[in-house]
Structure 1
Amino acid sequence: MQHQITPPHNDKHRSHRAGWLRAAVLGANDGIVSTSSLILGVAAAGANKPDIMLAAFAGWAAGAMSMAAGEYVSVKSQEDVEKADLDIERRSLEENPEEERKELSLIYQQRGLSQPLADQVAQELTQHDALAAHARDDIGLTEISTAKPIQAAITSALLFSLGAWLPILFLWLSEPKLVIPLVSLATAFGLVVLGGVAGRLGGASIVRGALRVLFWGVLAMVVTAVIGSLVGVAV
């Protein structure tokens, strides 16, 4: 009977969150910032509220689809590269198994193991699952880092929509003359919350994460509002 090996203690690592957390933060941040910037830019140009709402809805729909498509294509390209590398490694294991075992042993020696121990580890891992050992220790592919294009696309689109609906909601509830201040305040609050949550989930400083996201979001909104105001005057 094979006994299950359990660790003596369970450290709470966060690297397994990297894939979906990156897509989630990117999607939500882009949804808040791009939609708010669009609203403020159009409002600063002097448009009426129905036109601003129309622009906001169009920006949300286009942005969500763009995020989904962009994430899928980019992460799918990463997945294609990973599969190609695994195919190369699989063929090499079939054609040169002994050379591949020596290569694995050399990797472990470079990490600090003695040659006899490195040879033993390489031999046992090769017998257990040679491709998995080379994927992890030679190529650098792990379950955590493996590309997941569908997950990235869905996460980005959903979080973009969630972020975009924050400024849209305040736009819908506000009086025409209060669109710019209310949407700006709501967006700033959303960015602070997003940055803090991202920092907490990623194991970083909550305050630093909140301020970082807030700074770049506010900068984007200010630049867009200025451009919209200049265009409105020119037109």
Structure 2
Amino acid sequence: MRHSERHRTDRIGWLRAAVLGANDGIVSTASLLLGVSSAHATHSDVLIAGVAGLVAGAMSMAAGEYVSVQSQADTEKADLALEHTELQSDPSGEHKELAALYIERGLDPAMAKEVAAQLMAHDAIGAHARDELGISENLRARPIQAAMASAGSFAFGAALPLLTATITPEASLIPVVSGTSLVFLAGLGALAAGAGGASVMTGAMRVTLWGALAMGLTAGVGTLFGAAG
């Protein structure tokens, strides 16, 4: 019976996209709300800006993630095509190449040659993709999945400060939105760190610090423009 074991690397692709999207959603939308509010805009104008920021940000995240991951997928596809051609034109050379990799990893030459021969007999392109190119099924580039995860997580993150601003009176919008957004960021950082096996406290502090910096700078810009107006 095959022992099934789950590793954190199995989820690193979608986890990275989801955390990045949610983090950007909270930081950018909260910063936008604070900046517009600091410029003495009306409550309705602040909310309109927040909704526009949510939609634009989600689409931008989806497009950027898709283009980035699709480029990776194209590179993987080209490498696999080249490897397939080499396997057809020079199988002996590819066997030696694979065996050399196993020797570098600690197998004795005879064992390395036997392992390479058996793996190539079973799935030659799979063996070379995994051990020579570093491409495995778990870590393959998935552009659509990454784009959807980024857009969805951004929208979710952006909705948190936006909903907070919706139910918060205009007079207390700045302290309430900034405070709750920092709490949201701390929770997100802790969740991401815990899922990835890193320090929860470090993850929470890192995300919160950068979020506070972004919101502070944007609020400062809004204040300057409000004073100038």
Return the TM-score normalized by structure 1: 0.95
The reply on whether 1:164 has 2:152 as its aligned counterpart is no
Higher deviation after alignment, 87-96 or 203-212: 203-212
- Aligned-pair CA distance for 1:30: 0.4
Aligned to 1:109: 103
Work out which of the residue numbers 69, 84, 91 in structure 2 matches 1:97.
91
**Structural RMSD (CA):** 1.0
- State the distance in 2 between where 1:11 and 1:55 align: 46
- Aligned-pair CA distance for 1:104: 0.4
Matches within 5 A, 1:74-223: 74-223=68-217
**Displaced runs of 4+ in structure 1, greater than 3 A?**
none
1:3-37 Cα deviation digits (max 9, x unpaired): xx523xx6542111100000000000000000000
User: What is the identity percentage for the equivalent residue pairs of Structure 1 and Structure 2?
Assistant: 52
The reply on whether 1:228 has 2:193 as its aligned counterpart is no
1:96-142 Cα deviation digits (max 9, x unpaired): 00000000001111111111000000110110000000001111111
Unaligned regions of 5+ residues in structure 2, if any? none
* Amino acid in the other structure paired with 2:74: D
- Aligned-pair CA distance for 1:77: 0.7
SS at match of 1:154: helix
- State the distance in 1 between where 2:125 and 2:83 align: 7
- Aligned-pair CA distance for 1:144: 2.0
- State the distance in 1 between where 2:47 and 2:40 align: 13
* Amino acid in the other structure paired with 1:139: L
SS at match of 2:103: helix
SS at match of 2:107: coil
- State the distance in 2 between where 1:68 and 1:214 align: 24
* Amino acid in the other structure paired with 2:12: A
Aligned to 1:69: 63
The reply on whether 1:6 has 2:2 as its aligned counterpart is yes
Count of residues in Structure 1 that have an aligned counterpart in Structure 2: 229
- State the distance in 2 between where 1:88 and 1:60 align: 42
Return the TM-score normalized by structure 2: 0.98
SS at match of 1:139: coil
Unaligned regions of 5+ residues in structure 1, if any? none
- State the distance in 1 between where 2:5 and 2:15 align: 19
* Amino acid in the other structure paired with 1:113: L
* Amino acid in the other structure paired with 1:153: A
